[in-house]
Amino acid sequence: MIVEARGLGFTHRAGTAALSDVGFAVERGQTVGIVGESGSGKSTLVRLLCGLLPGYTGSATYAGREIGDWLREDAREFRSRNQLVFQSPSGSFDPRLRLATSLAEPLRSLARRKPEPGELETQLGEVGLSAELLSRYPHELSGGQLQRMALARALVVNPAVLYADEPTSALDVSVQAQVLNLLMDIQDRLGATLIVVSHDLAVVARLCEYVFVLRAGSVVEHGETTALLRSPASPYTRALITAAESVALDRGVSPVRGGAARRTIRGWRPHG
Ligand SMILES: Nc1ncnc2c1ncn2[C@@H]1O[C@H](COP(=O)(O)OP(=O)(O)OP(=O)(O)O)[C@@H](O)[C@H]1O
């Protein structure tokens, strides 16, 4: 397992218990979805697993080592191996900086180096963006372009695990499919582990081979996506499926039950 949690608990400073007794396990190279209604703890879980929320209880490991220990002993290495893309592309970039500067920031702060000549341009090509965008400011890009830019910035340090928290929720429906396709393409090419948070089961059905369902800070059910969608054990999961199906039908796209989990891609692994 590349990421694993046992008996994991977390209480926010304000006193809100966001996670309790969470069990979670992801194999290297897997594409895993975390679904649940608003407030179920999805973002808290991925932020914690990315090392952004210290002070958890129970166990959470990356590559067999406790995340708390990574952060104390080797935080830069941990962060370069675990990258997170947030929901809001515009909020992810400093509006005062040209995108070349923002894109190079993880290299500077985590890998302690400057970009090689042509490196940023190549990275942009990987996410289908033109190199000329490097000299622009965030407000000069569309939401879809900025989300691609956020992906490029996360990938610049070659992470082993890419977390995406509601990667398409802030985008127009027409752009959502492009970003989902890009995520699938990235996973195909890099073989990185991809962990996607979404309140929308249709997104997870499309992208992920395995899914965890969160409710009120606990995992109520998990399993292979296709099997879980076909025969959910809990009424909560059934309700999420029904909600996603009605949204899908409203949008005129295939309902989630028809969505198939993706194949497992086991190619080159960054960070071995
Ligand atoms: N920074 C914070 N301070 C205090 N409480 C928080 C904080 N962030 C989240 N919470 C609380 O923790 C619980 C879980 O929230 P979280 O954002 O992880 O859920 P979520 O499933 O990601 O929800 P959403 O889909 O709405 O983003 C909620 O009760 C929320 O109010």
pLDDT digits (tens, 9 = 90+) for 13-60: 988 899 999 999 999 999 999 999 999 999 999 999 999 998 999 999
Q: What is the pLDDT of residue 170?
A: 80
Q: How far is CA 68 from CA 14, 64, 202, 245, 246, in A?
A: 21, 12, 33, 39, 41
Q: Which is nearest to 75 in space by CA: 105, 101, 54?
A: 54
Measure 52 CA to ligand 1 centroid, in angstroms: 14
Measure 40 CA to ligand 1 centroid, in angstroms: 7
Residue nearest to atom 24 of ligand 1 (CA): 38
Assess if residue 267 is contained within a domain.
Answer: no
Q: What is the pLDDT of residue 7?
A: 97
The residue among 251 and 57 whose pLDDT is bigger is 57
Please give the number of the atom of ligand 1 that sits closest to the Cα of 45.
Answer: 18
Assess if residue 122 is contained within a domain.
Answer: no
**Can you give the pTM of this predicted structure?**
0.89
Assess if residue 143 is contained within a domain.
Answer: no
Counting the structural domains of the chain, the total is 1
The Cα–Cα gap between 14 and 252 comes to: 42
Assess if residue 107 is contained within a domain.
Answer: no
**Minimum mean pLDDT range among 83-92, 134-143, 246-255, 263-272:** 263-272
User: For ligand 1, is residue 22 a contact (CB within 6 Å)?
Assistant: no
Assess if residue 172 is contained within a domain.
Answer: yes
Please give the number of the atom of ligand 1 that sits closest to the Cα of 197.
Answer: 22
Q: Write the CATH number for 12.
A: 3.40.50.300
Assess if residue 100 is contained within a domain.
Answer: no
Assess if residue 106 is contained within a domain.
Answer: no
ipTM of the complex: 0.96
Q: What is the pLDDT of residue 263?
A: 36
Assess if residue 8 is contained within a domain.
Answer: yes
Domain extent at residue 11: 3-91+159-258
Please give the number of the atom of ligand 1 that sits closest to the Cα of 199.
Answer: 25
